[in-house]
């Protein structure tokens, strides 16, 4: 699998996972069941460490909510039948959480680095760009110690894992930082090449799964609102009876409300990126632009529901990726 690209983990692989408890165990503690489930899930998801928010959300779905519940369940002795059932429930819950909030990962296995190293022109360009970025005083020389910053600066997009995710990178860099001094551009390239080669070889032996800080908005949260009559009625009331100009059309009132409050309903932030602007335009273009504030209460309520259903359909067909660092 080539690194640098992204993979979406939406729980599908877990749904087809067939897991059995160790044959030699008649009883297990809750802690053993949870640890076993998390280990199996991790292996199925390219070896990622399950994020704490994912585990806590999944536990809540199987009625283990909060520190007290968690501690109590972990200490509980379970029969093999009870343990098997809880194992299945927990894995299904993890899959459900991932369906609602998929993870976006890159698998770093050295392939991208090898591609750069095998193409002399590509490597020369990368080395030149890195050197120029580090040569802030435009002296044509940089400290040898800057090689660490150069490699880290390449980032996941170029196949380099963060130091905290791959401690072996630190060992590789240390081997090449023993001598002090300055480097010209050609010397810098000569030093960079074996470091990247060694890193590529190390990643080939031990892949790194990097979780991006990206949220995929796929309409699942809006569908939950649509399925909950009380929540839906609350949204409709707020959308229709908030402050607005007297001459505004009903669709304009609803759009203003959703652009300001849509994130709470599971819509992507209206300012996130161009894809979100296009999403809003697509949804409201499909709605009769002639509808205005003269609509009666029932018609207005139907309009809000129609718009939310349209958003859910659009997002299911074309999910929006939002950078959580943005």
List the pLDDT tens digit at each of the 326 positions of the chain: 344 578 999 999 999 998 989 888 888 999 999 999 999 999 999 999 999 999 999 999 999 988 788 899 999 999 999 999 999 999 999 999 999 999 999 999 999 999 999 999 999 999 999 999 999 989 999 998 899 999 999 999 999 999 999 999 999 999 887 667 889 999 999 999 999 999 999 999 999 999 999 999 999 999 999 999 999 999 999 988 766 666 678 888 899 999 999 988 999 987 767 889 999 998 988 775 555 546 677 888 899 999 999 999 999 999 999 887 65
Taking a C-beta distance cutoff of 8 angstroms, is the pair 205, 180 a contact?
no
pTM (2 d.p.): 0.81
């Amino acid at each position: 699998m080539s690194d640098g690209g992204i993979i979406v983990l939406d729980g599908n692989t877990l749904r087809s996972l067939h897991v059995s408890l160790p044959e030699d165990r008649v009883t297990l503690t809750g802690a053993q069941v949870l640890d076993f489930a998390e280990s199996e899930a991790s292996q199925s998801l390219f070896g990622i460490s399950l994020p704490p928010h994912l585990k806590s959300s999944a536990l809540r779905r199987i009625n283990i909510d909060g520190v007290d519940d968690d501690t109590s369940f972990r200490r509980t002795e379970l029969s093999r039948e009870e343990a098997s059932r809880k194992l299945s429930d927990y894995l299904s819950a993890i899959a459900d959480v991932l369906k609602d909030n998929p993870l976006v990962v890159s698998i770093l296995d050295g392939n991208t680095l090898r591609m750069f190293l095998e193409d002399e022109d590509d490597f020369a360009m990368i080395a030149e760009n890195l050197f120029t970025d580090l040569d802030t005083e435009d002296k044509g020389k940089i400290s040898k110690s800057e090689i660490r910053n150069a490699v880290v600066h390449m980032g996941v997009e170029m196949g380099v894992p963060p130091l905290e995710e791959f401690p072996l990178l630190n060992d590789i860099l240390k081997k090449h930082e023993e001598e002090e001094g300055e480097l010209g551009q050609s010397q810098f390239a000569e030093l960079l090449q074996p470091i990247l080669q060694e890193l590529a070889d190390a990643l080939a032996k031990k892949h790194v799964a990097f979780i991006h800080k990206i949220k995929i908005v796929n309409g699942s949260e809006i569908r939950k609102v649509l399925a909950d009559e009380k929540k839906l009625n609350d949204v409709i009331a707020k959308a229709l009876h908030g402050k607005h100009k007297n001459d505004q059309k009903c669709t304009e009132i609803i759009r203003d409300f959703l652009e300001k409050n849509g994130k709470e309903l599971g819509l992507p932030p209206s300012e996130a990126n161009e894809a979100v602007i296009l999403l809003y335009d697509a949804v409201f273009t499909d709605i009769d632009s002639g509808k205005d504030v003269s609509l009666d209460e029932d018609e207005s309520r139907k309009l809000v529901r129609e718009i939310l259903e349209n958003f859910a359909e659009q997002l299911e067909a074309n999910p929006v990726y939002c950078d959580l660092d943005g």
